[in-house]
Amino acid sequence: MNLTAILPEILVCLTALAVIGADLGTYRNDSRRRGLMAWIAGTGLTVALAVLFGWQLGGYQAFVGIYSSFRPDAMSWFFRCTLLVSGIFTVLLSVDYVKDRIRHAGEFYALLCLATLGAMFMVAATDMVTFYLALELLSISSFVLVALRKDSPKASEAALKYLVFGALSSGLMLYGLSFLFGMSGSLEYAQIFTYFRQYQEPFNLQLLVAVLMTLAGLGYKVSAVPFHMWTPDVYQGAPMPVTAFLSATSKVAAFAALLRILETLNVASLTPLWALVLMIMAALSMTLGNLVAAVQQDVKRMFAYSSIAHAGYILAGMVALGDSAAHDTALTAICYYLLVYVFMNLGAFAALMHLTRLAGSSRIPDLAGLATKAPWAAFILSCCLLSLTGLPPFAGFTGKFYLFGALLSAGSEYVWLVGVGVLNSVVSLYYYSRLMRLMYFAPTPELEGKDLTLSPALKLVSGFCLAGIVGLFLFPTPVLTFVSALSALL
């Protein structure tokens, strides 16, 4: 067993323990103590990220996994780095919010580190048990993070819905995975793939249940229609930093795990079924997400439905994984888009943290005219919204271009799905531009007694995210070259 392979995960776990230890060892509940918790969490995640980058720059490759359960290959390296970046940005986003509104800062940062730990194991898991345990670590930590504000009835309601839907989705997924195990006789993805590649029997009910139940459970995790019902209420009720974390880290981890499972099921007997299911889910997610987002009055609910729509875009790209000619292009596009999505979403939430504090509300009409009082936050939010729409000169345009291009290269039968994606991108421009118009052209409100200063942490996050969405548009080649060099997931 090579523990060096999971050194970044060990560091993240030790960071969570260090936060808990520091919380128990200090008695004053003031801003300095809460700042210490944030510093420990941010430093630990940064060290773990530095180890991963050090491995890559130094040419070290920890391809020796752990009992065929954890594979630290180039694919998992990419997603682990992405998750750590998302975790670090979330810590920075939360600094001021935790000081003002979260009573138990130690629990918040420890749970944040544990959720990141679960996500990191998810993206490198290569058997069902490791995948499920990592998923539950991420899910349970997320449930508690949503409910951490005990003084908020909306947070309690959101956490309860999240827990109930999460338990249901886990049951569905376990039922599907149990069929895969029963048929193949193995928990390991590689052996399951080998079994189904040699599978000669006619398609039967067992295969149908296995694929549908597995995709249903994962569809919940990525907020895809028709398993999206929890998303708007959880996004609205959760603390703003937790909403940002769920929109980025949870989605990246779930899609990375879905990529590995689809590669396991990418055989002639199963590919047509899961490709058809993903097509339907993608079209419904894009359409429902954008249409319902257009009528929302709360910015967090708007981003929830936007997240559902973006899940549809990524699922559309995953359909192309089933075509051998388009497989590599689709894989490259999905990885690139997920990285860009982290920068777009967390940049938007960094701006919203400041704007909603000034407005005293997350309602969209209450953000009217704030561009005059908070020009940098309004500018960052506008750039991120334009990138989410898919307009140049931002990386969201490049991401959608590659996603839709991969789908077109898979065959002419997918042209209609590309058309659905393009039309829905136009719809998204409507509600994103409505928010921008309100910020810039509505009368400026009176904000007497409000501190208009943007905190250093939010400046840092917003600056990095702006650099990310512009830099990945201008210089996409390094990321695309690295991802396109991945020969296989398994």
Query: CA 431 to CA 440: how far, in whole Å?
Result: 15
Residue 477's CB: how many other CB atoms inside 10 A?
A: 10
Lowest-pLDDT choice from 18-32, 210-224, 244-258, 467-481:
18-32
- The pTM is what? 0.94
Query: CA 268 to CA 271: how far, in whole Å?
Result: 6
Q: What is the pLDDT of residues 81-111, one digit of tens each?
A: 999 999 999 999 998 888 877 777 888 999 9
Q: How high is the pLDDT of residue 152?
A: 78
Average pLDDT, the chain: 88
Query: Pseudo-torsion of CA 134, 135, 137, 142, nearest 10°?
Result: 150
**Residue pair 366/359 in contact by the 8 Å Cβ criterion:** yes
Query: CA 300 to CA 296: how far, in whole Å?
Result: 9
Residue 178's CB: how many other CB atoms inside 10 A?
A: 15
Q: How high is the pLDDT of residue 449?
A: 60
Query: Pseudo-torsion of CA 138, 139, 142, 148, nearest 10°?
Result: -130
Q: What is the mean pLDDT of residues 51-75?
A: 72
Which of 363-377 are b and which e, b meaning 16 or more Cβ less than 10 Å from the residue's Cβ?
Answer: bbebbbbbbebbebb
Q: Is the dihedral of CA 191, 209, 129, 181 positive or negative?
A: negative
Model confidence at 490: pLDDT above 50: no
Query: CA 371 to CA 221: how far, in whole Å?
Result: 35
Residue 439's nearest CA partner among 351, 327, 334 is 351
Model confidence at 41: pLDDT above 60: yes
